């Protein structure tokens, strides 16, 4: 949904940049990250990915969990095309979506949505989904762990949330397996939280066990003296 004014398109779903406050001095851009078994990289519109995405977004469990409509090929392609543009975290409300690739094939998506960029409140919400044929092998755990490394070690989030719709035991189990704590419930959703103190304790081990490389050395990772919170500009 959007409108055009003076030749420019404006989305009505997201607040415009000028309403979203401070910017990170150095934006976090999506560069491909690797783990032991997976590549996480920006989405692409190549034919094989469009086919895989069409299959994934129409899975009943994905549609129920995310309240997504059924999409025909044209709609799922537009949806994927939209995701290819979400590659930068710079300001509150920015959304980063990465393709989860296994042996050259798109098998899922892991995302990070910045809720606040202000230093002591810097926070983001993580999301995940997998092709049903690849569930049960730990791929979501591995991909989400890499996204947490990006959130805590690169974006320097103070906390990360995961919002899980009731009746989605696989997603709730994933949140707990990753080290999230359930903190709130509204009857329809459960909210899970991980703070940077938890990541400080677990991060190094998680990065090592999943072979995660987000380009940050241990001495610059979250909590170290060499990692002051990223500066903001207005
Ligand atoms: C939520 C979702 C991503 C979880 O997928 P998943 O396959 O259960 O999670 P993982 O890929 O981490 O796999 C975990 C399973 O692999 C096993 N496993 C094997 N090797 C593993 C490893 N190295 N590390 C972790 N788990 C491993 C685990 O024991 C677990 O087994 P279980 O299913 O028998 O309990 C998936 O169910 C999904 O896409 N659902 C639909 C979309 C959705 O709900 N999104 C969330 C919206 S809030």
pLDDT for res 21: 81
Q: How far apart are CA 72 and CA 123, in angstroms?
A: 34
Q: Which residues of the chain have pLDDT under 70?
A: 1-14, 215-234
Compute, in angstroms, the gap from residue 160 CA to the centroid of ligand 1: 19
Q: Could you tell me the residue ranges of all domains in the chain?
A: 29-226
Atom of ligand 1 nearest to the CA of 59: 41
Residue 85 gets the label, from left (phi > 0), alpha (psi -120 to 50) or beta, of: alpha
Compute, in angstroms, the gap from residue 162 CA to the centroid of ligand 1: 15
Residue of minimum CA distance from atom 34 in ligand 1 = 136
Predicted TM-score (pTM) of the model is 0.90
Assess contact for 86 and 97: CB atoms under 8 A.
yes
Q: Kindly report, residue by residue over 179-221, the tens digit of the pLDDT.
A: 999 999 999 999 999 999 999 999 999 999 999 988 655 444 4
CATH architecture, domain 29-226: 3-Layer(aba) Sandwich (3.40)
């Amino acid at each position: 949904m959007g409108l055009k004014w003076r030749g420019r398109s404006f989305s009505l779903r997201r607040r415009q940049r000028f309403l979203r406050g401070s910017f990170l001095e150095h934006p976090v851009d999506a560069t491909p990250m690797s783990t032991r078994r997976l590549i996480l990289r920006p989405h692409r519109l190549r034919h094989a990915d469009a086919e895989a995405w069409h299959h994934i977004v129409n899975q009943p469990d994905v549609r129920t969990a995310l309240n997504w409509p059924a999409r025909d090929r044209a709609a799922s392609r537009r949806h994927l095309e939209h995701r290819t543009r979400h590659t930068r975290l710079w300001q509150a409300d920015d959304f980063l979506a990465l393709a989860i690739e296994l042996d050259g094939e798109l098998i899922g998506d892991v995302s990070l949505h910045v809720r606040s960029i202000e230093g002591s409140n810097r926070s983001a919400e993580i999301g995940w989904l997998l092709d049903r044929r690849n569930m049960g092998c730990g791929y979501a755990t591995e991909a989400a762990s890499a996204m947490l490394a990006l959130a805590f070690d690169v974006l320097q989030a103070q906390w990360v949330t995961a919002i899980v719709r009731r009746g989605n035991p696989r997603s709730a189990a994933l949140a707990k397996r990753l080290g999230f704590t359930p903190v709130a419930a509204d009857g329809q959703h459960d909210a899970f939280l991980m703070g940077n103190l938890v990541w400080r304790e677990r991060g190094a081990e998680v990065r090592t066990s999943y072979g995660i490389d987000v380009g940050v050395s241990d001495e610059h990772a979250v909590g170290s003296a060499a990692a002051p919170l990223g500066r903001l500009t207005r």
